[in-house]
Structure 1
Amino acid sequence: MSIFTGNDRLAWAQAFISGIPYAVASGMTLTDIGPGRCSLLLPARSTWTGDAERKLIHPGCLSVLADTACGVAVGCAMEQIEPYATLDLRMDYLRPPVAETDLVCHAECHRLSRSVAFVRGELMQPGQSEPVATVYATFMRATAATRRKDLPAGQSVTSTTSAPDTQAPAPKASRPTPAEAASSLIAPASVEPSQVFVSRAADMPETLAVPVGRSPYVDFLNVHQQPQIDAGPVFRMPYKADLIGNPVLPALHGGVLAGFGETAMVLHLLATNPTLTAIPRSVDFAIAYMRSAKPIDTFAQSTTVRQGNRVALVMVSLWQDDPSRPVVQARGHFLMPREDD
């Protein structure tokens, strides 16, 4: 029998979302919930704008919302709450999302096996009858729920916010309360300060990836560009507490990694096509998660696999302290701008 009945499911989902620093910072709220499904709202903000000239939301904002909503849907499908994590996520961008307009993701866990959960969903904007994007995601069940021990030792640290240094509660024989069920997945939003490591070569010259104001979401991520190496430039996303998705481990939000990956691919196209006068538009995006991302700086480098007159296929690798051990690999198709666009 499911642990969820009536208000229990709502209480668990609200506790789950309030335990994700990124979700709290972005103002995500539940608008609907049921067995194996949920609807999650991302309120309009100018910060989410990816293309200020065309007034479009950055596709990374859609990925973060979709990843979070799909995660809630998985929890709502379980009979007994247990830790789980995103394996992969695919986004199809059907039409341009209008900036400074709310986004809602309707997600449904349509298959829950012993090891993997399968989720699908649609992202809508008020006033539109058709979705702006669709999402398909898979989640691995029974993942680690204890605080990580793989932060590098002997490096300088910076003070920020993360979870208390405690382990997840042991399973109870009796039915857990909604708060206990939520805490088995993620810590409460109000957490104690601790220290995390910053990974960056101090002598590596950098510049801002784009001029301030051209892409407010890239400004929010504070993406920096390092000198071009081999196939293209390296980009760095500095760590900050608002990017955490799981404060128990702690780990960066998987959707934030997706947003950074999409950003790095677009910036790669701009850097390797200096004649472009507009930002390439995302057609689709697929991301695979190799390992959880630590609360440190994250780096990305992309490769153009194929580029035609209208569409480019790009791959990106994200890493933290070792380029040979990526935390994420992703690929995406992009519509290259024309003069008449």
Structure 2
Amino acid sequence: MSDTPTPAAPPAFDELAEAIRNRRSVYGHISGLRMDRFAPGEAWSTLPYRPVFVGDSETGVIHGGVVTAMLDESCGMAVQLALDGSRAIATLDLRIDYQKPATPGLDIKAHAVCFRVTRSIAFVRATAYQEEESEPVATATACFMVGANRTNMLTDRPAFGGAPPPLEAPEDPTGPFATSPFARCLGIRLAENDTLVMPFSHRIIGNPVLPAIHGGMTGAFLETAAIITVMRELGASAPPKPIGLTINYLRSGRALDSIASASIVKQGRRVVAFEARAWQDDATKPHATAFGHFMLRQAPGQEQD
């Protein structure tokens, strides 16, 4: 008679979904993102509106990084719902296409579908919307690594319960982010040589076991760096409108401050192409890079798109 222990049976699907609902990223809990419905490889979620999510207080529009982080987290839920829930996953790349600005004051919803899983890679697509899924705020496609590290979501990650803690944006009326509560909430600041710094903090953690920075937070940081660069180099008084952003995750963002820089790749009359990179203790070893496009805001009297 063998003394080899019998492997534990995988949890029933409803139990798996409940574990995923309560054992997600730190930022996912703090942001208030909740999973409303689920099916194998499929998740429906809602991010309640909070004033701190605003990217431009003059228009009230939500920061693109908030949408990026929501879609990244929602895609991760769908991947876990396609697996047994125990294997750690990590975002490899994420492409966001912004269809229209989110209406200020309304919650944002997301529907994510993991449509294919191989032994080591999961492929996902998602839609962010407010009232009807047929009228998206943004769409996303992503690839995730399966078995990215040795942590087990079902046993290693703490469970989160109750209402999310408050998110605050310190006032800074004369700073570069005076009209961007979300950038101030993340503590982003200007540094030397036209770089930006995002200090490490509990609120931006993705995997609390490593710990590692949430991929959506890195995406928000890269987008913010690009916005500041475009405004500075073009002398713009208002932030440009994001069109699309592709983020490549090269390694985990560790529990360290992150530094980012951006540059304009090509400038047209209405559209600017940019690239950005983020690193921590070695500028030659970025942990993420991004490429994307902004629509420039037209001055009064100029032709509008």
TM-score, normalised on structure 1? 0.78
Is 1:320 the counterpart of 2:280? The answer is: yes
1:52 Cα deviation from its structure 2 partner: 1.2
Residue type of the partner of 1:101?
Answer: L
1:243 Cα deviation from its structure 2 partner: 0.7
Q: Percent identity?
A: 33
Gaps of 5+ in 1: 147-167, 169-180, 191-207
Separation in 1 of the partners of 2:246 and 2:294?
12
1:226 Cα deviation from its structure 2 partner: 1.7
1:182 aligned residue (154, 160, 182):
154
Q: Is the 8 A contact 2:23 2:160 kept in 1?
A: no
Aligned residues: 282
Separation in 1 of the partners of 2:185 and 2:150?
29
What secondary structure is seen at the aligned counterpart in 2 of 1:134? strand
1:10 Cα deviation from its structure 2 partner: 2.5
**Cα deviation per residue 1:112-170 (whole Å; 9 max; x = unaligned)?**
01110000010011367501100100001111135xxxxxxxxxxxxxxxxxxxxx5xx
1:51 aligned residue (52, 56, 59):
56
1:271 Cα deviation from its structure 2 partner: 1.3
Aligned position for 1:12: 19
Q: Residues 211 and 260 of structure 1: is their aligned pair in 2 closer, same or farther, counting only changes over 3 Å?
A: closer
Gaps of 5+ in 2: 1-8, 162-173
1:93-242 map, 5 Å: 93-126=98-131, 129-145=134-150, 182-183=154-155, 186-189=157-160, 210-212=176-178, 214-227=179-192, 229=193, 233-242=194-203
Aligned position for 1:37: 42
1:5 Cα deviation from its structure 2 partner: 3.6
Residue type of the partner of 2:226?
Answer: M
What secondary structure is seen at the aligned counterpart in 1 of 2:67? helix
Q: Is the 8 A contact 1:40 1:104 kept in 2?
A: yes
Residue type of the partner of 1:281?
Answer: K
Residue type of the partner of 2:105?
Answer: E
Separation in 1 of the partners of 2:257 and 2:159?
24
Is 1:70 the counterpart of 2:42? The answer is: no
- Relative to structure 2, which stretch is displaced further, 55-64 or 4-13? 4-13
Q: Residues 105 and 80 of structure 1: is their aligned pair in 2 closer, same or farther, counting only changes over 3 Å?
A: closer
What secondary structure is seen at the aligned counterpart in 2 of 1:132? strand
1:189 Cα deviation from its structure 2 partner: 4.3
Residue type of the partner of 2:37?
Answer: D
Separation in 1 of the partners of 2:80 and 2:177?
40
Is 1:336 the counterpart of 2:302? The answer is: no
Q: Residues 4 and 57 of structure 1: is their aligned pair in 2 closer, same or farther, counting only changes over 3 Å?
A: same
Separation in 2 of the partners of 1:211 and 1:333?
21
Aligned position for 1:245: 206
Q: Residues 118 and 240 of structure 1: is their aligned pair in 2 closer, same or farther, counting only changes over 3 Å?
A: same
TM-score, normalised on structure 2? 0.87
1:3 Cα deviation from its structure 2 partner: 3.5
Aligned position for 2:237: 277
Separation in 2 of the partners of 1:139 and 1:82?
12
1:211 Cα deviation from its structure 2 partner: 4.2
The ranges of structure 1 where at least 4 consecutive aligned residues each deviate by more than 4 angstroms after the TM superposition are none
Q: Is the 8 A contact 1:235 1:300 kept in 2?
A: yes
Separation in 1 of the partners of 2:220 and 2:104?
16
